[in-house]
Structure 1
Amino acid sequence: MMSWRKERGLFSSWLLIVVLFALREIQTAHHKHEAKHTAVGTSRTLLDLISVGLIDDIQWASYYKSNHQITVKAAWIAEAVGTNLIEEMRRLMQNHEGDFQFVLHYLTRNDTKTERNHTLQIHCNCELDGDIQLGSLVKYGLDGEDLIQIDMLEGQWVVLNPSAHIFKSILESAFWTEVRKRYNQRYCVGAMQKILQNSSMKENLPPEVYVSRRDFPNGTISFSCTATGFYPPSILLHWKKGTDGAIWGKESSSGTLPNSDDTFYLRISLEILPGDTGTGYACVVDHSQLETPAEYPVPEKPPQWNLWPVALSIVLAAILVISCFVVFTKWKRRKSGLEGYVEYEEVYILSGEHTGSGVRGSASKSHL
């Protein structure tokens, strides 16, 4: 009976662990892939084209018209996507430069100033929850104004600006509808799945955490907690005070941002009001590379030195140094004067012997 209960307890613990990991995977299974294209030109000429690919707001690739190349941010991402697909996407972008020029010309055809520069923006995205596609959006904009968009789940183009009514008929054509669906599946959903499935190729790193404190003259206190050098980017930072979960103050966050080495950093700040001594606070960090959430206490307020004893000590030390210098100077002068007097007496005596003057008696006395 005891053995059965023990085995049942081990099975329950194992099942609980499995469920917790499953819940964690579900919570982190939602991902979003975006492609942001920005074209600048006139109704006759395409001057520049820049395209950026982002997954969960983190840039992974970019394309520039100036060199007709796709730059992948990290080697492991390039390996995950594959050289063939990257080259296919590069040729596609280069071939579509003419299409960007056509759209610019079509949307600005009524502009009498043909040499005026315009900015065309095309935003495409797709969202996945595991292997289930939640949505997909394509939106066109011109000179900062939204023109027209479509949500693929709804399947209907929505005109956001009256000037795009004529353009809608082109986008609804069978040809561009097929192109849009094929591109979404292969380059938006497909590329994102390749990257996510091979994200383990990137070395996972725990965060380095730094906590600081700053006291202001008006009595307010500001805390800062910085986590950097971690991967994957999912992380949780929050403030804690003792065993009480309530934190009163002004909180701010930088958001998770990339470092130059493909790791990430996040900084949160807390400003507490005057009257709070700022003791007992800690920054709590939760990351997949930490076995348990780690607490980093905020430094205590540095002790305030009483300046009067310090100033008095400095003054006394200065007086002592000056006194020693004066005594040494006087001693030096006295010693120099005594040596000069002895030397003068010796010269006087010797001079009396050579001249035979009235000092001879003194000299003879000294001789006796």
Structure 2
Amino acid sequence: MLRRSNSHLYKMVNWWRRGDSVSSWILILMLFAFRETQAVHHRNELQFTKVFMNLSVSDFTVAGFIDDVQWLSYDKLNKQIIVKEVWISDALGTNFIEDMNRFMRRHEGGGYIVTYFLTGNDPNNKRNHTKQLFVGCELDDGIQLKSKARLGWDGEDMMETDDHTKHWVFLNPRAQKLKPVTESSFWTNEIELSSKKYCVGVVQNIFRNSSIKENLPPKVYVSRHDSPNGTITFSCLATGFYPRSILLIWKKTPEPAKWGKESSSGTLPNADDTFYLHVTLELLPGDSGEGYTCVVEHSELQKPAIYPVPGKPPRKWLWAIAVSILAVFILGLSCAKVFITWNKKNKTGTTSQSQLKGPISSPTIHLQ
């Protein structure tokens, strides 16, 4: 949903200061309500991967993720970015996307200086090398909280930026060779452009011109199924949550537990652009299933949520016996009622017949 800008907050405060008749406690409630509507956190990540062969680029891929949902890729054949969602493309606008296309084409054709410094004295420099650049940022209602850039080479982390000093920190001794590169104005400008305009700027443009889905906590449902063959299966479903990242695990008290066969649906989208995750656990033979819980962690939960598994359901044959006894009892009551009713009617009928006949009187004999 669209969020109000901070100017609304300042207007409310100034309105109260001008002496308008509103009590302070109402203002406090308004501020708290305003704060609740503002608490929306989002993350944007850009991943650049480039494969070099003999100082020439043999492959170049780009992927962009907002809250773990991919929104961007790069078509190297046509040399242009592909925005996965139409509403994001509309929010960014044609000019912004074209600027980003030029930046991607420039980035695709560059990077040789890093390759030269890292492979200049390598006798095997004719083999393929992979350079990975990660740029990430986190925002709260469009306000930048932090940003990070990291450079990898052939699967190893080389260096990353310090979020406070904005300087590069070398994570690998080989990365010291890149010190002249990191001190160049061109390199600094390119990384800053990646972070500010195409990481932070993307989210801010979406906030201004469209919307990002509101963060939602998961709804969790836990169930137990006992099969006739004695197999016990637990099910834990977390659904309706956003963003996508979630952790769902089984725990048993007391530990340790002998785990059975576990399966997962993976995190998948719902029709309303939220996500769901379904995990099942089939217990080993002999495990009673007592003490198991489903533990869920998500950014919208203040702490891990614990959901106990339901206990063992009553046996079906007990239900059958209970139903049979109840049926016999009802049948007995019905028969007794019928018998009592019939008996009453029978007695009533006999009395009426005797009354109709009347008493038998003896004939009177008169003697002459």
Same fold (TM over 0.5): yes
Deviations 1:225-284 (A, max 9, x none): 252xx5854799999xxxxxx996999997994539682322254769626499xx9999
Distance 1:92 1:130 in 2: 26
State the 1:136 CA deviation: 1.8
Are 1:19 and 2:37 an aligned pair?
no
Distance 2:199 2:68 in 1: 14
Contact 2:206/2:212 (<8 A) preserved: no
Structure 1 residues 236 and 17 mapped into 2: Cα distance closer, same or farther (>3 Å)? farther
Gaps of 5+ in 2: 1-22, 301-306, 319-368
Distance 1:204 1:130 in 2: 12
Deviations 1:112-166 (A, max 9, x none): 2343111111111122234543322211111111112212421221111222212
Amino acid across the alignment from 1:43? N
Between Structure 1 and Structure 2, how many residues are aligned? 278
Q: Which residue, 154, 176, 184 being the options, matches 1:143?
A: 154
Q: Match of 1:274?
A: 288
Distance 2:55 2:175 in 1: 19
State the 1:221 CA deviation: 4.2
Instruction: Give the structure with the larger helix fraction.
Output: 1
Secondary structure, aligned partner of 2:211: helix
Q: Match of 2:58?
A: 47
Distance 1:172 1:204 in 2: 39
Higher alpha-carbon deviation: 61-70 or 118-127: 61-70
Higher relative contact order (CA 8 A, sep 6+): 2
Structure 1 residues 60 and 258 mapped into 2: Cα distance closer, same or farther (>3 Å)? farther
Q: Which residue, 39, 42, 47 being the options, matches 1:36?
A: 47
Q: Equivalences for 1:61-72 in 2 at 5 Å?
A: 61-72=72-83
Structure showing greater Rg: 1
Q: Match of 1:222?
A: 234
Q: Which residue, 186, 200, 211 being the options, matches 2:197?
A: 186
Contact 2:52/2:59 (<8 A) preserved: yes
Identity of aligned residues (%): 37
Q: Match of 1:93?
A: 104
Question: Please, what TM-score do these two structures have when normalized by structure 2?
Answer: 0.59
CA RMSD of aligned residues (A): 4.8
Q: Equivalences for 1:1-368 in 2 at 5 Å?
A: 16=29, 19=32, 22-23=35-36, 25-26=38-39, 28-29=40-41, 31-200=42-211, 213-215=224-226, 220-227=232-239, 230=240, 233=243, 257=267, 259=269, 263-267=273-277, 269=279, 274=288, 276=290, 301=313, 304=316
State the 1:106 CA deviation: 3.5
Question: Please, what TM-score do these two structures have when normalized by structure 1?
Answer: 0.59
Q: Match of 2:352?
A: none
Amino acid across the alignment from 1:225? L
Gaps of 5+ in 1: 1-9, 240-245, 289-294, 307-368
Higher alpha-carbon deviation: 60-69 or 139-148: 60-69
Distance 1:266 1:117 in 2: 39
State the 1:210 CA deviation: 7.6
